[in-house]
């Protein structure tokens, strides 16, 4: 077996040792995938039977055409929009990912923690206050912010991350409301959370935070009409996937001041060479305004989360192959 690790920087030693038991491990050299050509693999890399990926490269037809032996894609993520699922299915390639691995993921709170980093940074205007200090200014009143106590946070999605964010919100004495068709009112109540309709979530929240998986049914779930329902003092946080929100709706909401600000860790059509930024009006908006924070999809990018997820995925690949052999 040839195992190709596409983003090997600081890779978990334990995970590498597991892969080494399965065959020859190749580490991709760091490179930028161009938006046009994708990533060009070397002749050795093209021999991969197992591809261990991150979120950096689009695993699309162009990529898969280069790896004719591929049998397994190992992806330490829950999201799948960087993988062309139809191509993968047609080629009979197995995907091993974090999707649905609930009990493991309960102990990976990085993205929920990032949600609060966004909330606090936005409501206390931290990036812009710090910029002003770097410009030798020392003005408390200019940078007055908002406290969280008694504010309402609305969670769209009450799965693994929504539940963790709710717990953190309670510690700040916030009111928590949530909308999730798959979770009962009774269960939410047991967590001190009020179940509301999607409309009420947008209407009543001071902060709306998205914790929904991107699927065919959730793509474009949030439209301009939802953002128009929000209080003009409210903020939107998106650490999930950009495509949950209709293209341009967030830009229009910010530009027209329907909302006070936003924090996003995800963008439409993310590319590792950053080529998506110039195409997105939000990027220019963020450079010229003091109410939008954009981060480069770092929700799960902590040393701790990356190490345990790399180990978990390596163990899952190992178990899958062992079971297959004994079947
Ligand atoms: C991170 O973005 C993930 O999908 O797990």
What pLDDT, in 10s, does the model give residues 25-57? 999 887 777 666 778 899 999 999 999 999 999
- Residue 241 annotated to the active site: yes
Percent of the chain at pLDDT above 90?
A: 94
* Phi, psi of 264, rounded to the nearest 5 degrees: -130, 135
Does residue 76's CB lie within 6 angstroms of at least one atom of ligand 1?
Answer: no
Residues 6+ positions from 296 with CB-CB distance below 8 Å: 265
> pLDDT tens across 98-124, in order?
999 999 999 999 999 999 999 999 999
Residue nearest to atom 4 of ligand 1 (CA): 79
Three-state secondary-structure class, residue 3: strand
Residue 35 has what pLDDT? Answer: 65
- Give the global pTM: 0.94
CATH number for the domain whose boundaries are 2-103+302-326: 3.40.50.720
Q: Which residues of 275-312 are buried (b: 16+ CB within 10 A; e: fewer)?
A: ebbeebebbebbeeeebbbbbebebbbbeebbbbbbbb
Same fold for the pair 2-103+302-326 and 109-294: yes
Q: Is the Cα dihedral 58, 62, 66, 72 positive or negative?
A: positive
Measured distance CA(165)–CA(153) in Å, rounded: 9
| CATH superfamily of the 109-294 domain | NAD(P)-binding Rossmann-like Domain (3.40.50.720)
Measured distance CA(195)–CA(253) in Å, rounded: 25
Does residue 79's CB lie within 6 angstroms of at least one atom of ligand 1?
Answer: yes
- Which residue do the tokens 């080494």 mark? 20
- Residue 270 annotated to the active site: yes
Residue 36 has what pLDDT? Answer: 65
Q: How many whole angstroms from 313 Cα to the centroid of ligand 1?
A: 13
Which residues face 236 on adjacent strands? 208, 262
Measured distance CA(28)–CA(217) in Å, rounded: 35
| Of 297, 304, 307, 315, catalytic | 297
Domain extents for the chain? 2-103+302-326, 109-294
């Amino acid at each position: 077996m040839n195992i190709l690790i596409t983003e090997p920087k600081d890779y978990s030693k334990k995970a590498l040792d597991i892969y080494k038991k399965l065959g020859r491990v190749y580490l991709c050299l760091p490179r930028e995938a161009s938006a046009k050509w994708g990533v060009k693999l070397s002749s050795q890399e093209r021999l991969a039977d197992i591809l261990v990926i991150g979120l950096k490269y689009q695993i699309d037809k162009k990529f898969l055409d280069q790896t004719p032996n591929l049998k397994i894609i190992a992806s330490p993520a829950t999201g799948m929009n960087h993988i062309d699922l139809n191509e993968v299915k047609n080629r009979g390639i197995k995907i091993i990912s974090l999707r649905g691995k609930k009990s493991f993921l309960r102990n990976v709170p990085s993205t929920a923690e990032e949600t609060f980093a966004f909330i606090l940074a936005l409501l206390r205007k931290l990036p812009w206050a710090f910029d002003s200090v770097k410009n030798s200014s020392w003005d408390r009143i200019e940078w007055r912010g908002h406290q969280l106590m008694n504010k309402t946070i609305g969670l769209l999605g009450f799965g693994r991350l929504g539940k963790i964010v709710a717990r953190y919100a309670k510690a700040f004495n916030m009111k928590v409301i949530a909308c999730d068709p798959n979770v009962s009112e009774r269960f939410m109540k047991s967590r001190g959370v009020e179940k509301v309709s999607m409309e009420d979530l947008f209407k009543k929240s001071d902060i709306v935070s998205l914790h929904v998986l991107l699927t065919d049914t959730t793509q474009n779930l949030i439209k301009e009409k939802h953002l128009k329902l929000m209080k003009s003092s409210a903020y939107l946080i998106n650490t999930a996937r950009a495509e949950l929100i209709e293209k341009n709706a967030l830009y229009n909401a910010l530009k027209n001041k329907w909302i006070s600000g936003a924090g996003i860790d995800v963008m439409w059509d993310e590319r590792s060479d950053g080529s998506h930024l110039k195409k997105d009006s939000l990027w220019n908006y963020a450079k010229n305004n003091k109410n939008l924070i954009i981060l480069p999809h770092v929700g799960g990018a902590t040393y701790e989360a990356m190490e345990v997820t790399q180990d978990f995925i390596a163990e899952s690949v190992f178990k899958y192959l062992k079971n297959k052999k004994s079947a």
